[in-house]
Amino acid sequence: MIAILDYGSGNLRSAERAFATTGQEVVLTSDPAIALEADGLVVPGVGAFSSCMNGINEVNGASIVQERLNKERPVLGICIGMQIMFSQGTENSQGEPFKGIGIWNGVVDRLNAPILPHMGWNTVEAHPNTVLLKGIEEESFYFVHSYAAKSSVGKKQSWSFYGEKFLAVVEDGYVCSTQFHPEKSGTAGLKLIRNWVDSL
Amino acid sequence: MTLSVRIIPCLDVTDGRVVKGVNFTNLVDAGDPVEMASLYDIEGADELTFLDISASSSGRETTLDIVRKTAEQVFIPLTVGGGIRSVSDVDKLLRAGADKVSINTSAIARPDLIAEIADRFGSQVLVLSVDARRARTESGFEVTTHGGRESSGIDALSWVEKACELGAGEILLNSMDADGTRAGYDIGMINAVRSVAKVPLIASGGAGALSDFAAALDAGADALLAASVFHFGTHRIGDVKAYLSKHNYSVRNVVAT
**C-beta of residue B7 within 8 angstroms of C-beta of residue B224:** yes
Residue of B nearest to A119 (CA): B200
Note whether residue B251 is domain-resident: no
Confidence band of B29 (pLDDT split at 50, 70, 90): low
A60-111 per-position pLDDT tens digit = 999 999 999 999 999 999 999 999 999 999 998 888 999 999 999 999 999 9
Q: Find the mean pLDDT for residues B16-44.
A: 71
A194 Cβ under 8 Å from any chain B Cβ: no
Task: To the nearest 10°, report the CA torsion of B145, B113, B13, B190.
Answer: 60
User: CB–CB of B198 and A114 under 8 A?
Assistant: yes
**C-beta of residue A182 within 8 angstroms of C-beta of residue A193:** yes
β partners of residue B127: B102, B170
A162 Cβ under 8 Å from any chain B Cβ: yes
**C-beta of residue B194 within 8 angstroms of C-beta of residue B219:** yes
**Residues of A (7-26) whose Cβ lies below 8 Å from B:** 10-11, 13-14, 17-18
Task: List alpha helices for chain B, DSSP H.
Answer: 33-43, 57-73, 87-96, 105-109, 112-121, 156-166, 187-194, 210-218, 228-231, 237-246
Which residues in B lie closer than 8 A to residue A145 (C-beta atoms)?
124
Note whether residue B31 is domain-resident: yes
Q: List residues of A with catalytic annotation.
A: 79, 181, 183
Count up the domains in chain A and report the number. 1
User: CB–CB of B124 and A125 under 8 A?
Assistant: no
Cross-chain CB nearest to A184 (options B68, B73, B75): B75
**Catalytic residue chosen out of the listed positions B12, B41, B46, B155:** B12
**C-beta of residue B146 within 8 angstroms of C-beta of residue B53:** no
What's the ipTM?
0.93
Question: At A72, which CATH number?
Answer: 3.40.50.880
Print the domain residue range for A85.
2-198
**What pTM does this model have?**
0.95
Closest among A65, A32, A49, A19 to A145, alpha carbons compared: A49
Minimal CA separation from B217 to chain A, in Å: 15
Q: Give the range among A115-129, B5-19, B68-82 with minimum mean pLDDT.
A: B5-19
Instruction: Give which of B1, B4, B217, B237 to mutate to test A binding, by max A Cβ within 10 Å.
Output: B1
Print the domain residue range for B61.
6-246
Residues near A183 by beta carbon (within 8 Å), at least 6 away in sequence: A14, A15, A17, A18, A19, A78, A189, A193, B75
Residue B12 designated active-site: yes
Query: Looking at the predicted structure, is the pLDDT value of residue B25 above 50?
Result: no
Note whether residue B139 is domain-resident: yes
Note whether residue B255 is domain-resident: no
Note whether residue B11 is domain-resident: yes
User: CB–CB of A14 and B96 under 8 A?
Assistant: no
Residue of B nearest to A18 (CA): B75
Confidence band of B44 (pLDDT split at 50, 70, 90): very high
Question: What is the full DSSP assignment across B219-251?
Answer: TT-SEEEESHHHHTTSS-HHHHHHHHHHTT---
Minimal CA separation from B214 to chain A, in Å: 18
Question: At B192, which CATH number?
Answer: 3.20.20.70
Count up the domains in chain B and report the number. 1
Confidence band of B257 (pLDDT split at 50, 70, 90): very low
